[in-house]
Amino acid sequence: MADIIALLPDHVANQIAAGEVVQRPASVVKELLENAIDAQATSITLVVKDAGKTLIQVTDNGIGMSTTDARLCFERHATSKIKKADDLFNLHTKGFRGEALASIAAIAHVQLKTKTEGAEIGTTISIEGSEVKEQEPAVVATGTTISVKNLFYNIPARRNFLKSNPVETRHIIDEFHRVALAHPQIEFVMHHNGSPVFNLPASNARQRIVNIFGGKTNEKLVPVSEETEIVKVSGFVLKPQYSKKSRGEQFFFVNDRFIKSPYLHHAVSSAFEGLLKQGTHPGYFLFLEVASQSIDINIHPTKTEIKFDDEHSIYAMLRATVKHSLGQFSVAPVLDFNKDSGFDTPYEYSKKQPSTPKIEVDSNFNPFIEDKKPRQANITFPFKREKQANWESLYVGLKDDTLTSPSDQTETEHPEALEFESDEITGSLFTSSENDTQFTTFQLQQKYIVNPIKNGMLVIHQHLAHYRILYEELLKNITVQEAVSQQLLFPLQVQFSKPDLDILDKVKEQLEHTGFAFAETNGDHLEIKGIPVAVSESQVETILEKLVGDIRGEVPDAGFSQNDLLAKSMAKNMAIKTGTPLNREAQEHLIHRLFACKEPSVSPDNRPVLITLDTNELDKRFN
């Protein structure tokens, strides 16, 4: 039998390796940024065009490379980070395999410009598909600039597999966030399609978080700090009231390296037990420092998963540290048995004696003497008794024949008060009709609306029903462009991060068709001068934040799908929630509006809005 096993050519092997290292443009961004950090750079600039499909360029002011190193860095398994196998368990750098540049050069057009600090002249290298096209001396600045053009040009199948530009841009920004958060002492700048996206000066961890996610984030952060022999924990967690349904703002860093760990995430979530709303997730920016010998980084091609030697101890330390911080900063309730009771009384009243109420006695009072005038108690108190607001509730359950009609009474010395009471009583207390007692609709557990029909009853989910109603109205307004806007006397200032503002800018026209009116954007503030009629000012920020989250999660292309997503997101957040009480008039109005919809039986996300219970089905239950 002839031999059938043969060695693969280098360019084929590099393309296969690139499938593990380079999954999308964001993978190239991650590798190049980490190389710049390993080169001891203090300033890094990222330039991206067409979501990285056309160009990814990283410029740093690091130590640079010599001519020989510049050529050798594109070879497979060529690295300066390790010398022997034992070095894998004592890593202090980002990259160490020596596969990244070789894999990138196999599937793109790569140009490298580099110069060391002491050299008078640098080096330029151009590579296409692992083949060196050009290498010559050049006058360049100290540091390294590497440009990756036409990614996956020689693998059309992989290029077609890429998502749309907004999706790929989102992944690039996520990788940029992870690297920038791990190294706040380094200046980072990012440009996309010629426009600046981020300009992050060198700062501390807290300021870096605020610069990335907006100034409003500063008030959400709770510091976390603890140092033990096993692990040193630092960073921040978000206050429970700012938890979100998405898992966006969750970052773990181990020795300045971003990782994903469901096990450690569970430790943080358990520390928030009892403080989060159902279905929401905590946000955190946690930095862990452990001995490099106690972790194994080389278990995943993307190096985002780490194996700990003593994972259970780190879990317990992390959970206890987060819980302690929440209690220390009065975010979580704590029991303090050593509390001084003197703090219960305000300082200015601590030594003040209570005053005795003054009592005046009428010496001429005789209970056996009839007096037509009503008497009032002569006891005076230092406070005024508030007027009973819900006085009508005192008459609930009384029959009409036990009360004297105000119309039969004679005029007293306060005719205006009598006239007021007569109007109120006639309208709500002392009149009854058959229509008021007739059964029409009622609300069950402030969640369902029950309405009788000819053959049984109709049960409607109030939130899903309102969701369907608002969805069709918003979609019609966006399409027909006939929305009504209520102008605000004082414009609202809503703060967003730069990527979020870019997302809102893309759907600005559709939002204006729903009733929003925007002024000019000032930095990270969005000024709103008009809102839809069905939206209150307090709802605006929540609706826009959740809209950004929904668009970021799906990122539809322009067209109907984008309008549909926008209408769904806004309608879902504007719809009445479970637990909202509705009077009978509101219940009937909701039912009429629901059956005026084109699809009243299902919600926009294909959930049933209503069910019918037949009397025959009810009869079977009692047999």
Least confident window among 75-79, 184-188, 206-210, 390-394: 390-394
Q: For the domain that residue 569 is a member of, what is the CATH number?
A: 3.30.1370.100
- Assign 61 a pLDDT band (cuts: 50, 70, 90): very high
| Predicted confidence (pLDDT) at residue 574 exceeds the cutoff of 70 | yes
Mean pLDDT of 392-403: 51
Strands 525-532 and 485-495: antiparallel
Bridge partners of 532, per DSSP, are 485
Continuous segment of H or E residues that includes residue 416: helix 415-424
Positive or negative torsion for Cα 75, 81, 84, 85: negative
Identity of the highest mean pLDDT range in 366-375, 400-409, 434-443, 607-616: 607-616
| Number of structural domains found in the chain | 3
For residues 60 and 35, state if they share a domain: yes
- As a whole number of Å, the end-to-end CA separation of the chain is 79
> What is residue 426's DSSP assignment?
I
Which of 291, 311, 328 terminates a domain? The answer is: 328
- Assign 519 a pLDDT band (cuts: 50, 70, 90): confident
Residues whose CB is less than 8 angstroms from the CB of residue 590 and which lie 6 or more positions away in sequence, other chains included: 449, 460, 462, 465, 466, 469, 582
Residues whose CB is less than 8 angstroms from the CB of residue 40 and which lie 6 or more positions away in sequence, other chains included: 62, 63
Query: What angle in degrees, to the nearest 10, is found between the helix axes of 498-506 and 537-554?
Result: 90
For residues 92 and 192, state if they share a domain: yes
Report yes or no: 512 and 531 within 8 Å, Cβ to Cβ.
no
Mean pLDDT of 87-103: 68
Structure tokens at 330: 């009065």
Measure Cα distances from 188 to 115, 142, 495, 533 in Å. 20, 17, 22, 42
Residue 407 lies in a domain: no
Query: What angle in degrees, to the nearest 10, is found between the helix axes of 560-574 and 537-554?
Result: 140
Residue 383 lies in a domain: no
User: 581-597: per-residue pLDDT in tens?
Assistant: 888 888 888 888 898 88
- Assign 418 a pLDDT band (cuts: 50, 70, 90): very low
**If you search the block for the tokens 């959400």, which residue do you land on?**
220
Residue 342 lies in a domain: no
Distance CA 326, CA 334 (A): 9
User: 542-555: per-residue pLDDT in tens?
Assistant: 888 888 877 776 65
How many residues are recorded in the chain? 623
Distance CA 534, CA 484 (A): 10
> How many C-beta atoms surround the C-beta of residue 3 within 10 A?
5
Continuous segment of H or E residues that includes residue 95: none
Q: What pLDDT does residue 236 have?
A: 94
Burial class (CB in 10 A: 0-12, 13-18, 19+), 514: buried
For residues 479 and 554, state if they share a domain: yes
Residue 405 lies in a domain: no
For residues 158 and 17, state if they share a domain: yes
Q: For the domain that residue 147 is a member of, what is the CATH number?
A: 3.30.565.10
Report yes or no: 37 and 186 within 8 Å, Cβ to Cβ.
yes
Mean pLDDT of 293-321: 80
Structure tokens at 178: 């992870």
Q: Distance of alpha carbon 71 from its chain centroid, rounded?
A: 45
Which of 263, 298, 328 terminates a domain? The answer is: 328
Return the closest-CA partner of residue 244 out of 274, 279, 270.
279
Report yes or no: 37 and 127 within 8 Å, Cβ to Cβ.
no
Averaged confidence pLDDT in the chain: 79
Residue 468 lies in a domain: yes
Question: Which string of b and e fits 4-38 if b means at least 16 CB within 10 Å?
Answer: eeeeeeeeebbbebbeebbbbbbbbbbbbbbbbbb
For residues 92 and 237, state if they share a domain: no
For residues 104 and 136, state if they share a domain: yes
Which of 172, 200, 228 terminates a domain? The answer is: 200
Structure tokens at 355: 């005053």
Structure tokens at 450: 């029950």
For residues 565 and 460, state if they share a domain: yes
Distance CA 608, CA 601 (A): 6
Q: Is residue 569 classed as helix, strand or coil in its secondary structure?
A: helix
Structure tokens at 358: 């003054």
* % pLDDT > 90, the chain: 22
Q: What pLDDT does residue 406 have?
A: 45
Residue 253 lies in a domain: yes
For residues 194 and 220, state if they share a domain: no
Q: Name the residue range of residue 303's domain.
A: 212-328
Return the closest-CA partner of residue 474 out of 533, 544, 554, 558.
533
For residues 174 and 217, state if they share a domain: no
Return the closest-CA partner of residue 172 out of 17, 28, 43, 21.
28
User: 203-217: per-residue pLDDT in tens?
Assistant: 999 999 999 888 788
- Give the residue with greater pLDDT, 430 vs 376: 376
User: 337-381: per-residue pLDDT in tens?
Assistant: 555 555 555 555 656 777 787 888 877 877 777 655 555 555 444
Residue 371 lies in a domain: no
For residues 169 and 315, state if they share a domain: no
Report yes or no: 265 and 230 within 8 Å, Cβ to Cβ.
no
Strands (E), 411-474: 442-444, 448-453, 456-461
> What is residue 596's DSSP assignment?
T
List phi, psi (to 5°) of 291. -65, 135
For residues 146 and 266, state if they share a domain: no
For residues 121 and 246, state if they share a domain: no
User: 450-462: per-residue pLDDT in tens?
Assistant: 888 888 888 999 9
Q: For the domain that residue 284 is a member of, what is the CATH number?
A: 3.30.230.10
Bridge partners of 49, per DSSP, are 55
Residue 429 lies in a domain: no
Residues whose CB is less than 8 angstroms from the CB of residue 220 and which lie 6 or more positions away in sequence, other chains included: 238, 239, 242, 283
Least confident window among 175-189, 434-448, 516-530: 434-448
